[in-house]
Amino acid sequence: MVERDSRNSQRTTPGPRRPGRPWRVRWQGSLARVGPPLVVGAVVAILLQVSGFVAGSDDALQVMGFDPDRARLITAMVVEALAVAAATIVAARIGPALVVAAATFVALYGPTFYRETIDALNSRGTDGTFDPLGWLLTATTVVLIVVVIAWAAASLARIVRGWLARAIDAVGTWRASRSGAELAWPLIVAIAGLLLVISGPVLGDMLNYAPDVRMRQSAPLPVGLIGNPAASDAGPAGPDTGPAGSPSPATVVGGGPAELSDAQPWLAWRPAGAGSITPVVLPGGWTGGTRPTADLAVYVPPGYGAGTRRYPVTYEVPFGRSWWQTSIHATSLLDSLIDSGAIPAQIVVFVSPAGGPYPDSECVDSADGREWFERWFTGTIVPAIDQRFRTLAAPAARALLGFSQGGYCASMLLLRHPNVVSSAVALSGYYESGLRSPQTPNAWRPFGGDLALIAATSPVSAAGAVPAALRPALFVILSGDPNEAFYGPQYRDFSAALAKAGIPTALLPNPGGHSLAGLRSVLPVALRTLAARQVAAGVFRG
C-alpha cells in the first residue's frame, strides 16, 4: 500500500513539463511494442516471396485446376496466416497481427483484385455489366476473410507462444536449481519443433508427388505437380511476378528480315476438329532405373488420318505430355491454334526420360554412362518418329520445345546436333550445365563433376562451338523475364552468347517469367514465331 501511495504521489508532484513530451513518450512506447511484430511479419512474407514459395503455391494450385486468380487468392491467404502467426509469436497483440494481415494480403492479392475490378468495369455484352452491389459484397467478403484468417492464425500462434514462454521460463528455473525435472517442458517443445522441421518436407513431397513417395529407397521420384522429378524444376521456384502480362513482340537478332515470314501457306489446307494422341513405346536411353522402356506421346493434328500430307515435327523435352496437359491443357491449345490457322498443322512428340536412373536427366549423355539421352534422341527417337508417322524428315522441319529444364534441353540439343534439328523454343530456362541451386537441385548429377562435359554441353558455351557454316540455318526462340533473380541472368547471358555466335534468335521478353501463367501467355506467340521461321526456311514449299 505504501509503495502504491509513493507512486501516486510521484505522479501528482508538479515538475517541469516539455510541450508534447507525453505524446512523444506514448508514441515511442507504442512503436517499441508494435514495431518488432510488424518487422517479423514483413520479413516472413518477404522470405516466402523470394524463396519461391508463392510462385510454387500458385503453380501447384493451377496444376490442380485452379485458374491463376483463384490460385493467387488461396496463396495470399496462406502467406497471410504464416506472417500473422510469426508476428503474434513475437508479441501477442491483435493490432499488429491485423496490420500484418492486411499488408500481406494486399501486397499479394491487391493487384489481382484491382485488375479484376477494372475488367468488371469494362465488361460489355456477353461478358455482363458491372454490378456495384456485387463488387461491394465481394470487397466486404475479402476484408472479412483477412480478419478471420488473422484471428485464427493469431489465436493458434498465441498458444504456441505460451508453450515457448513456458519452455524459456523452465530453462531459467533450471539454471537456478539445476533440477533435471525443469527441462521436461523445453525438451517436449524442442522435440515438437524438430518433428515439424522433419515432417514439413515429407508432407510437401506427399502432396506434390504421391503419399508413398518416401516409402522406397533409390527410386526416381514420380511426376510432381511442381518441382522434381520428371518435371524437375519445371515448377517455378524464382520470385513470382504475379499474373502474366503479354510477352513483347519477337525481336529477331543475328539475322536479316528474311529470318521470319508473314506468309501462312498452311491456310490452304487448314484442318478442323481435334487432334489425337498416339502412344509410342521405345527402348529407354538408359540402363538401370525403374523400367527399360520409355512411353512417348505423339500428338497428330486434326485431319491427319484423312490424307497423305507430311507435317513438321516439334519435340517437347523432357517432361512428357502428362505435365503439359495438367499444366496448360496442351492438346486443346494445339487444337485451337491449328483450327484457327494461327499455326500450321504439325506433329508434336512429348518425350520424357521418366524411369531412367536420374531424377533430372538434363537431356545429356551422363558422365557415368548410365543414361545417353542425346544419342537416344538423335539415334532412336527421331528415326522412329520419321518411320512411323508422315513427317517432313528434314532438320528445317524439326523443332525442339522446352520450359525450365526443357529450355536448357531444347537449346543444348539444338546446338549440339544442328544436323538433326534446326530450331529450338526455349521458355524460361537456364543455360549452364551442372548448376547447383534451389531452382536446379538435381541438375548437377548427370555430369558427375566432369568439367569437360559441363563446358561442352552448356548452351552459353556450345553456341560458339557450332560450325560457322551451320549457324545461319539455326533458329532459337528465347523467352523469359530478364528481371527474374535466377532465370533473368540466364536469359541475358544466353541471348548474348547467341548474338556473339551469329545464330538467329527471336527474343520474347515475358513479364510472366517462370510461371505457368507466363508459359500460357507466351507459348502461342512462340509457336507462331516458329511457324514464321519455318515458312522463311522453305519448309512448306510444294
Q: How far apart are the first and last CA of the chain?
A: 106
Is 60 exceeded by the pLDDT of residue 115? Answer: yes
Q: Structural domain tally of the chain?
A: 2
266 and 204 belong to one structural domain: no
In what side-by-side order are the strands of the sheet with 313-316?
A: 251-253, 505-509, 475-480, 423-427, 398-403, 313-316, 347-350, 293-300, 276-283
Residue 493's CATH number: 3.40.50.1820
Higher pLDDT, 252 or 64: 252
Is 50 exceeded by the pLDDT of residue 419? Answer: yes
Q: Is the residue at 10 inside a domain?
A: no
75 and 162 belong to one structural domain: yes
Of 208, 234, 256, at which residue does a domain stop?
208
pLDDT confidence of residue 236:
32
Is 80 exceeded by the pLDDT of residue 252? Answer: no
43 and 133 belong to one structural domain: yes
- Name the pTM for this structure: 0.64
Q: Is the residue at 368 inside a domain?
A: yes
Of 149, 184, 208, at which residue does a domain stop?
208
Q: Is the residue at 7 inside a domain?
A: no
When mean pLDDT is compared across 54-58, 99-103, 116-120, the lowest value belongs to 54-58
255 and 201 belong to one structural domain: no
364 and 476 belong to one structural domain: yes
- Helices 132-177 and 184-208: crossing angle in degrees, nearest 10, is 140
Round to whole Å and give the CA distance between 241 and 347.
33
189 and 270 belong to one structural domain: no
Round to whole Å and give the CA distance between 195 and 306.
61
49 and 184 belong to one structural domain: yes
158 and 33 belong to one structural domain: yes
Is 70 exceeded by the pLDDT of residue 456? Answer: yes
Q: Grid coordinates 562451338 are at which residue?
A: 465
Take residue 394 and report the three cell numbers written for it. 528434314
Q: Is the residue at 385 inside a domain?
A: yes
Say which DSSP state 247 is in: P
443 and 514 belong to one structural domain: yes
Q: Is the residue at 241 inside a domain?
A: no
273 and 411 belong to one structural domain: yes
Write phi, then psi, for 332 (nearest 5 degrees). Answer: -65, -40
Q: Is the residue at 217 inside a domain?
A: no
Higher pLDDT, 395 or 240: 395
pLDDT in tens, 211-242: 665 665 544 444 454 443 333 333 333 333 33
Of 184, 208, 232, at which residue does a domain stop?
208
Q: Is the residue at 465 inside a domain?
A: yes
Q: Is the residue at 231 inside a domain?
A: no
Query: Which neighbouring-strand residues pair with 506?
Result: 252, 477
Residues 6+ apart with CB under 8 A from 425: 314, 399, 400, 401, 402, 410, 477, 479, 526, 527, 530
527 and 448 belong to one structural domain: yes
Take residue 51 and report the three cell numbers written for it. 524463396
Higher pLDDT, 275 or 354: 275
Residue 304: domain span: 248-536
Round to whole Å and give the CA distance between 84 and 86.
5
Asked whether the beta carbons of 247 and 508 are under 8 A apart, the reply is yes
201 and 255 belong to one structural domain: no
| Peptide bond before residue 229 is cis, with ω within 30 degrees of 0 | yes
